[in-house]
Amino acid sequence: MNNKTIPNTIERTLNDDDYIVSKTDTKGRITYANRIFMTLSSYTEQELLGAPHNIVRHPDMPGLMFKRLWDTLRGGREFHFYTKNLAKDGSYYWVFANVTPSFDQRGQPIGYFSVRRKPKAAGVKTFQELYRSMRQAERRTAGKQAALAASARIYDDFLAAQGANHEAFILALQA
Ligand SMILES: Cc1cc2nc3c(=O)[nH]c(=O)nc-3n(C[C@H](O)[C@H](O)[C@H](O)COP(=O)(O)O)c2cc1C
């Protein structure tokens, strides 16, 4: 997270045909950013290249989503999620993100690739509410592991009530 940025309530939106693309190394440091990523985040290419991808992390996002993202990527699988991102000027933008691991010819992970597009309104509404309660649970629970576990209970109970797993639920919302 860029600590110099103070979040405000100005929202930025993507057009239907906008795709934000970025690539990172295995540690999550940005190695490629397309023009739309720069425009929407208000960062220059110079500022983005080499920066950790959490440069656009918004404080409203629960840590659990990123734990699940990294656990899935390290397991060699792709992950979809809705995320509220923070631009350099403090404004925010919601996206529907897909992140996939990239492998070399021997099957070793060499980095990650992400495409983010305009989210469906229903997806944003659902995850805005979920993230609010997950973030609250994380804030009021002492200890990082316990905080993530409290957040996971909220999310996993929600999914169980829907009778779906994370990927199935998310893909149906964005369909
Ligand atoms: C290819 C790729 C794309 C990512 N895209 C985003 C993103 O759009 N927004 C975001 O907050 N984190 C994104 N992340 C996750 C960040 O690396 C980071 O885990 C997250 O911002 C949480 O920050 P923290 O790990 O410092 O808590 C991405 C990671 C990878 C590998």
Name the residue of 25, 54, 118 to mutate for ligand 1: max ligand atoms within 8 A of Cβ: 54
pLDDT tens digits for range 113-167: 999 999 999 999 999 999 999 999 999 999 999 999 999 999 999 999 999 999 9
Instruction: Please state the pTM of the whole predicted model.
Output: 0.96
The alpha carbon of 119 and the centre of ligand 1 are apart by a number of angstroms equal to: 17
Give the domains, in start order, of the chain with CATH numbers: 19-174 (3.30.450.20)
Residue 57 Cα: closest atom of ligand 1 = 11
> How wide is the angle at C-alpha 86 spanned by C-alphas 84 and 90, nearest 5°?
135
pLDDT tens digits for range 90-108: 999 999 999 999 999 999 9
Q: Which of 154, 151, 169, 136 is nearest to 67 (CA)?
A: 151
